[in-house]
Structure 1
Amino acid sequence: MKKLLLFSLIIAFYFPSETNAQRKKSKKNQTTNVKTTQKKKTPTYSDFVKKETKTDEGLFKVHETNNTFMYEIPKSYFGKEMLLVTRIKDIPAGLGGGYVNAGSKINTQVIVWEQYKNKILLKVKSYNAVANDSLPIYKSVKANNLEPIIYAFDIKSQNQDATAVLIDVTKFFSSDVKAITGLPSFYRKTYKVKRLDASRSFINSIKSYPENIEVVQDFTFDADAPPSNKRTNTITLRINQSMILLPENPMMPRIHDKRVGYFSIGNVDYSSEALKADSKRYIRRWRLEPKDPAAYARGELVEPVKPIVYYLDPATPDKLKKFIKQGVDDWQKVFETAGFKNAIMAKYAPTKEEDPEFSMEDVRYSSIRYVASTTRNATGPSVSDPRTGEIIESDIIWYHNHLRSYRNRYLLETGAANPSARTLNTPAADIGEMMRMVISHEVGHALGLPHNMAASFAYPVDSLRSGKFTQKYGIAATIMDYARYNYVAQPGDKNVRFIRQLGPYDHYAINWGYRLIPNANKPEDEIKTLDKWIEDKANNPMYRFGGQRFDPSAQTEGIGNDQVKASTYGIKNLKIVAKNLPNWTSNQTNNYEDLSELYGELLGVWNRYVGHVTGNIGGVYEFNKKPEQTGNVYVNVDKKRQKESLIWLQNNVFSTQNWLLDKNILNKIDESGYTERFLRYQNRHLNTLLNTNTLKRMIDAEVIQSNFYPASEMIRDLRKGIFSETNSLKNVDVYRRNLQKSFIQKIETLLIDKKAKNTDISSIVRGELEALKYQLNTASKRATNRITKYHYKDCLVMVNNILNPKN
């Protein structure tokens, strides 16, 4: 009996009763059913948009609840094209080497929001390839240009009338999403960036405006080599993401023509009737439409429906505001040439009391930002519609220290002929005029105009010494050239303008790009009229556009149509400045800091004047034309001008320039390094002359031009000039010794340059080395000065090693 009882107890322990089991099962099922019911509950709008939620009305409603951000996207916006612009809002010191600043644009891309099942997809759309959507080939273009998805969002809920969806964008904007990063791969590599530290990164703010949404991200990265505060191993950036709704009705684009300078956008059009895809380019410009089209058509000046307005940064110093405003307003007269009055203007930003909703981040407002930076520069970036080239907004940037550059250049380049420049305390009116013209230059960029370096070649050199001419035409035909100062004017010239200004090309280019052409319904309808406007001015150098490359008539910082003559005037003035530099600097300040700074920049000015002449040798003029115009597109500089330029270089560069090497300055600013510094400048021009591309252009000239300067003759002339001491008993000074060795080293590199292989270059170099060997051998025997003798023998060894390498 006891055994039976014990057995029953054991069975009961291991196998619960059916009743208990059913009870537990029932409870488990109840729990499961409760959980299932909870899972199946559909979240409602009020679960995300609560009483404590802050809502910002605008393009999309933006809801914030305890640092969680939601976008309420109207379904009507699905598929609509928007521009996503990534900028740096605030920046650590030194990032990008000083030329990246608060406001710098990192990336621009067209995006669309699309629904796919229960997801909202953010896609990047490309306009590199296009086709009319009514044509069969449109399907192929779409199939071969699949749009990347940069993020997929879960749909959290809909609004009450189901016209909009809610998505959570918190993770998207607080993560290191490469497609919208403010720290591109180049910077990550340079600064050895490891990762984004989520604990020190967050969304600063999201604000919605009628046409855009602005997101500010505070991101902190771990980095082994940050640009500043290196011991922190940290880079912190404030990044701004602008999402801008593109115009519903795109502006009719204007076809780009390289004979007139405009920034442009391009695509490949598969709708073309040509036997290939047609590459098209459109100029970048603002949309200006007349308020009164009938009056505009009659040739009357008419205000635009929407003028171009720039707001001044409240951080701008009060004393400078009027000059910045003038720099913008100066373009009003230019736009009148295109038929518009009051087309562009600058305004002071409203106060909070005047307009509490005003923000410099709002895409409806373009701005001129004043940046606290030691960088000496200014920029004129803009954001444009990639479909048409329409400029949507622009933020011109002025760096605080930029005026220092202008003061120094003003003193160095005009001080000989301009008494008001002979001081470190430049008159306020002069500083203001300089700033005004810099702003005008940057506004020109923001209007779509690139640099036009050929404009300074339009004026005869001696006209730049005329007060009447320069007061009317300035010192270059456009503000878009880098012709900052009149360094040609000589002491005694009367009423000469020294600072640049807007010129005739600016009126011409704005008219060409902005004047409306009647009865033109598509871009192709405008071509005939646009061509005529160009051809009417084609023979006048004031209206020529040229880009800087191999063309000596399109160089930065040059003025006048004769580089040799202009640089001769410039150096004549510079000698006067060099002689007086201590009187205008250290003698006034009782320290040598400004003297040291200005002497270094004086060498830079001399170097630029020299560079303008160097460009003539192997230079090719470029005259952009269409076949119906007469004349060649490419014309080599004639032999006489090239030989004249080389003689000038021998006298003003390769000969020792004692006026530049004044011991009364050198022994006040540095303990050593004078010879090395001067050689660096000489080498720049030596390298240009003995550059493979320069020599190849000279060799090619033999094929297309009768009056050419042979490369062999140029190198021979260069060698004879640089080693002229070998023809006499004259001792070689230290500067010339350095230069002569440098010449040998440079021509040695031509023998091993792969681009020079199988060309005449190696033949010419070997021939010149043999001639030099004979010169050095003879000279070393005649030399009486010990260091000169040693130098010749050293050069002889160098030449022999090149001609007869041991390996």
Structure 2
Amino acid sequence: MKNVLLLGLACLFLTNQTLEAQKKNKKKKSQQETTAPAKKPKNGIKSYTEVITKDAKTDDGIFKVHQVNDAYFYEIPFTNLNQDMLWVSRIAQIPNGLGGGYVNAGSKTNEQVVHWERFQNKILLKIKSYVNVAEEGKAIRNSVKVNNYEPILYAFDIKTFSKDSTAAVIDVTKFFTSDVPAISGLSARLRKTYKVKKLDGDRSFINSVKSFPKNIEVKQDFTYVASEPPTEGRAETISLQMNQSMILLPEKPMQPRIYDPRVGFFTVSQYDFGSKELKADYKTYIRRWRLEPKDPEAYARGELVEPIKPIVYYLDPGTPEELQKYIKQGIEDWQKPFETAGFKNAIIAKDAPTPEEDPDFSPEDIRYSVVRYVASTTRNAVGPSVSDPRSGEIIESDIIWYHNHLRSYRNRYLLETAAANPSARTLDTPADEIGEMMRMFIAHEVGHALGFPHNMAASYAYPVDSLRNGAFTQKNGIAASIMDYARYNYVAQPGDENIRFIRQMGPYDHYATNWGYRYLPEASSPAEEVPTLDQWILAKANDPVYKFGRQSSRFDPQSQTECIGDDPVLASTYGLKNLKYVAEHLPEWTSDQTNDYTDLEELYGELLGVYSRFTGHVTTTIGGVFENLKKPNQEGVVYSAVPKTQQQEAMRWLHKNVFNTPDWLLIKDALPNIDHAGYFETLRSVQARQLNALLSFDRLGRLIDNEEKGGYTAYDMLKELRAGLFTEAAQGKNVSLYRRNLQRSYVDRMQYLMTEEDKGYNYSRSGFESKLVYNINTSDVRALVRGELETLKRQLNAVKNNGSTLSRYHYKDLIARIDKLLAVD
């Protein structure tokens, strides 16, 4: 019995031990299950719910965008892979002074075509170029591809796949919070200027990501550590907000229109390696909006038809109330030229929607074109646009107006028109006239955004004296196009009546709009459009009103910035008459009214600039070459020198109005109140500007060309210039202070021609190919300069002991300078 009891107790003990061990093992196993690291998913790809958790906030659009806490994910459908998308980087908010005033909220910092591509378990964001192309299906397309390998902007790991396995999910957080140069708001130049050290990750973050049916908009707040920031220097910080727009480009590009240099358009270009030519065919297309008629049959009958998608511009919500109507008018002034092309209501101005009307509206959103009003002291405005490089189709544009630019317009209005225009003789320009200036300036910038560059020949279309005719100017304005730099009528004289002083739209604007935008459905390719387009040009070819002139005012008197009328000498004669009247009354209209010299000082400085422009228009005539763009089936040549008699007249004019001291510029009631000294240098600098322009390598090269043509030659010009500059030596007269300065400037410039090499200019913009570069040492330049200096030395030696003490000192100094220059080492 005792043994049985002991056995029972032992079994009970063992049973308890077993049960306790089982409990401990179960508890241990449970702890292991909750604390042991999870097994890594195959290939690093997790389940959808592990990545896009129940806490995710999802925005559905072209891609689904998920926000999980501070992380952002793109869910990219496989159907969107390898599709062309336009990526545009803009500054959304900017610190004061960044970029010296020419960078602002809305400034585009980069524009590139990208596409998303899968490689194994990664999604690659690649930059795509359309510089080199070949038609699909041609063998050479393979060669184009392998010789134009696309750079990878970023590589993303695939985190998971969508529940239906039709899309890949990637984490874009690091990409949008890193300092990626291709989408940055700070260029290498700005980084160097402000000594930027790095992006501060703790102060940089994603502000918002919004997905729409065809685009995604991302706002990033970036803070950089910088030793010399533009403002708040002690903070050593630059903060700005960027907006990244990614928009799906049309699957089928718009049919391009082939560029013709006889009609002005901005362009996109490609090298077509699939061409039948014996080389890569360089193709250039115009940049324009896609306008297609809602009713093609009515359009074909010649009726005005609304476009399927009109061009819409929104006003910046920060636009001053008093200017809004003028900005809208400037935008919609282009409706009439579009009617010439067959479209009604083709361009529309709208107020920006309120947050209640559209909480997603943003001026940086690439779906919207906006007239941005920038609170900046910069005096400028621009009209950039974003286009599809495959076809030239303009996708979006922003007009940027800087607040202080209105002051520039007021000042120019006073200086250039006040002699004949009493309402301009004030610092308080009437509001309706300021509004009209704003309207026309916006129309000019909208023209750029529609694809039109400057047409500098439009102001040469009208005879100078017609600009003094009230009926003519009211009907035709002062230039044949709003795209010229012809802001004001400075030709009209006191007593001329009913004059229009402010520019307006012209006949060329209608012609160019029709040429670029008229819908031609019967043409199935760009090449098939050319015969029709060519006929339209030929029909207007001999009418200067429809001439396009590139911005090449270095050599063509027809295409000069700020010039009006078809005779620069006559126009500048009228302009100087007016400017002398303004100079005489400038204190009366400024400081006498304000009891302050600030405006007088500002306007005096700008008056010198106006004087330089008027005289520079005449300088261009000397060594000038007319450029009349044409094809071989048109009569005449493209380039022809300005007639000798006109160049000689221009030289006489310069001696009379520039080199013979223009002492009327030294306004006796102004200078003693705005500067303590330096009047002689003020005058010398405006004279030397035209002197140096005459004595330039490229002008001398063009004049040398004329020797065999019987035209005005470099020898003729140099001889007449020297004779006019040194009349005192020829006539035995004393030399005044201002003439002494001018004569020394002449010898200095001749030294430049003798010793410097012409390095030329690197123009990167179409229409600026006007610099002549040639071998100076083997040309006649140095021989001509040496000959003129030796002739001048003989002339000065004959009079060096005559005249006043200062005149004798001056002559001996010039002789010493020439001797040193001509000395043989």
TM-score using structure 1 length? 0.94
Q: Secondary structure at the match of 1:664?
A: coil
Cα deviation, 1:521-567, whole Å, max 9, x if unaligned, reads 00000000010000100000011111122212101000000000000
Which amino acid letter does the alignment assign opposite residue 797 of structure 1? Answer: A
Mapped contact 2:591–2:597 kept (Cα < 8 A): yes
Mapped contact 1:284–1:390 kept (Cα < 8 A): yes
Separation of aligned partners in 2, 1:363 and 1:42: 34
Q: Secondary structure at the match of 1:659?
A: helix
Deviates more, 1:57-66 or 1:80-89: 57-66
Mapped contact 1:297–1:518 kept (Cα < 8 A): no
Question: Which residue number corresponds to residue 806 of structure 2?
Answer: 787
Q: Secondary structure at the match of 2:355?
A: coil
Give, in angstroms, the shift of residue 720 of structure 1: 1.2
Which amino acid letter does the alignment assign opposite residue 677 of structure 1? Answer: T
Separation of aligned partners in 1, 2:365 and 2:393: 18
Cα deviation, 1:698-720, whole Å, max 9, x if unaligned, reads 111224x33x1110110111111
Cα deviation, 1:452-477, whole Å, max 9, x if unaligned, reads 01110010000000111111111000
1:764 to 774, 784, 787: 784
Question: Which residue number corresponds to residue 8 of structure 1?
Answer: none
Give, in angstroms, the shift of residue 102 of structure 1: 1.4
2:541 to 538, 541, 546: 538
1:385 aligns with 2:404: no
Question: Which residue number corresponds to residue 769 of structure 2?
Answer: none
Question: Which residue number corresponds to residue 778 of structure 1?
Answer: 798
Separation of aligned partners in 2, 1:118 and 1:32: 30
Give, in angstroms, the shift of residue 59 of structure 1: 1.9
Give, in angstroms, the shift of residue 43 of structure 1: 2.0
Cα deviation, 1:755-780, whole Å, max 9, x if unaligned, reads 42111011101110111101211222
Q: How does 1:197-208 map to 2 (within 5 A)?
A: 197-208=200-211
Which amino acid letter does the alignment assign opposite residue 569 of structure 2? Answer: V
Separation of aligned partners in 2, 1:37 and 1:232: 47
Give, in angstroms, the shift of residue 34 of structure 1: 5.1
Mapped contact 2:106–2:364 kept (Cα < 8 A): no
Give, in angstroms, the shift of residue 107 of structure 1: 1.1
Separation of aligned partners in 1, 2:415 and 2:794: 44
Question: Which residue number corresponds to residue 588 of structure 2?
Answer: 583
Which amino acid letter does the alignment assign opposite residue 259 of structure 1? Answer: R
Question: Which residue number corresponds to residue 603 of structure 1?
Answer: 608
Question: Which residue number corresponds to residue 736 of structure 1?
Answer: 739
Give, in angstroms, the shift of residue 109 of structure 1: 0.6
Q: Secondary structure at the match of 1:434?
A: helix
Which amino acid letter does the alignment assign opposite residue 603 of structure 1? Answer: L
Separation of aligned partners in 2, 1:702 and 1:507: 42
Mapped contact 2:160–2:170 kept (Cα < 8 A): yes
Cα deviation, 1:695-745, whole Å, max 9, x if unaligned, reads 001111224x33x11101101111111111112332222221111111001
Q: How does 1:178-189 map to 2 (within 5 A)?
A: 178-189=181-192
Question: Which residue number corresponds to residue 692 of structure 2?
Answer: 687
1:246 to 246, 249, 263: 249
Q: Secondary structure at the match of 1:85?
A: strand
1:721 aligns with 2:719: no
Separation of aligned partners in 1, 2:315 and 2:59: 26
Question: Which residue number corresponds to residue 281 of structure 1?
Answer: 284
Question: Which residue number corresponds to residue 440 of structure 1?
Answer: 443
Q: Secondary structure at the match of 2:136?
A: coil
Q: Secondary structure at the match of 1:309?
A: strand
Separation of aligned partners in 2, 1:675 and 1:47: 79
Separation of aligned partners in 2, 1:419 and 1:49: 71
Which amino acid letter does the alignment assign opposite residue 800 of structure 1? Answer: D
Separation of aligned partners in 2, 1:273 and 1:38: 56
Q: Secondary structure at the match of 1:392?
A: strand
Cα deviation, 1:79-103, whole Å, max 9, x if unaligned, reads 0000111112222222222222211
Q: How does 1:121-160 map to 2 (within 5 A)?
A: 121-160=124-163
1:470 aligns with 2:511: no
Question: Which residue number corresponds to residue 376 of structure 1?
Answer: 379
Q: Secondary structure at the match of 1:782?
A: coil
Separation of aligned partners in 2, 1:478 and 1:38: 69
Q: Secondary structure at the match of 2:800?
A: helix
Q: Secondary structure at the match of 1:480?
A: coil
1:649 to 640, 645, 654: 654
Mapped contact 1:211–1:363 kept (Cα < 8 A): no
Separation of aligned partners in 2, 1:312 and 1:256: 31
Q: Secondary structure at the match of 1:258?
A: coil
Give, in angstroms, the shift of residue 184 of structure 1: 1.7
2:642 to 637, 643, 661: 637
Which amino acid letter does the alignment assign opposite residue 772 of structure 1? Answer: L
Question: Which residue number corresponds to residue 215 of structure 2?
Answer: 212
Separation of aligned partners in 2, 1:634 and 1:102: 43
Q: Secondary structure at the match of 2:719?
A: helix
Q: Secondary structure at the match of 1:109?
A: strand
Separation of aligned partners in 1, 2:739 and 2:242: 53
Separation of aligned partners in 2, 1:205 and 1:682: 57
Q: Secondary structure at the match of 2:801?
A: helix
Question: Which residue number corresponds to residue 348 of structure 1?
Answer: 351
Shift of the 680–709 alpha-carbon distance from structure 1 to 2, 3 Å rule, reads: same
Mapped contact 1:85–1:105 kept (Cα < 8 A): yes
Mapped contact 2:705–2:713 kept (Cα < 8 A): no
TM-score using structure 2 length? 0.92
Which amino acid letter does the alignment assign opposite residue 325 of structure 2? Answer: K
Question: Which residue number corresponds to residue 514 of structure 2?
Answer: 511
Question: Which residue number corresponds to residue 521 of structure 1?
Answer: 524
Deviates more, 1:181-190 or 1:524-533: 181-190
Q: Secondary structure at the match of 2:389?
A: coil
State the identity %.
63
Question: Which residue number corresponds to residue 224 of structure 2?
Answer: 221
1:363 aligns with 2:361: no
Mapped contact 1:90–1:239 kept (Cα < 8 A): yes
Separation of aligned partners in 2, 1:33 and 1:359: 48
Question: Which residue number corresponds to residue 797 of structure 1?
Answer: 816
Deviates more, 1:336-345 or 1:44-53: 44-53
Separation of aligned partners in 1, 2:41 and 2:302: 71
1:746 aligns with 2:746: no
Give, in angstroms, the shift of residue 361 of structure 1: 3.0
1:412 aligns with 2:415: yes
Which amino acid letter does the alignment assign opposite residue 508 of structure 1? Answer: Y
Q: Secondary structure at the match of 1:663?
A: coil
Which amino acid letter does the alignment assign opposite residue 376 of structure 1? Answer: R
Runs (5+) with no aligned partner, structure 2: 1-24, 759-775
Give, in angstroms, the shift of residue 36 of structure 1: 6.7
Question: Which residue number corresponds to residue 37 of structure 1?
Answer: 39
1:334 aligns with 2:337: yes
Mapped contact 2:45–2:158 kept (Cα < 8 A): no
Q: Secondary structure at the match of 1:222?
A: strand
Give, in angstroms, the shift of residue 329 of structure 1: 0.9
Deviates more, 1:500-509 or 1:373-382: 373-382
Cα deviation, 1:592-626, whole Å, max 9, x if unaligned, reads 00000111111111110011001011111111111
Aligned length: 777
Shift of the 539–32 alpha-carbon distance from structure 1 to 2, 3 Å rule, reads: same
Cα deviation, 1:203-228, whole Å, max 9, x if unaligned, reads 22222222211112222222233333
Q: How does 1:261-340 map to 2 (within 5 A)?
A: 261-340=264-343
Question: Which residue number corresponds to residue 568 of structure 2?
Answer: 563
Deviates more, 1:633-642 or 1:359-368: 359-368
Question: Which residue number corresponds to residue 626 of structure 2?
Answer: 621
Which amino acid letter does the alignment assign opposite residue 571 of structure 1? Answer: L
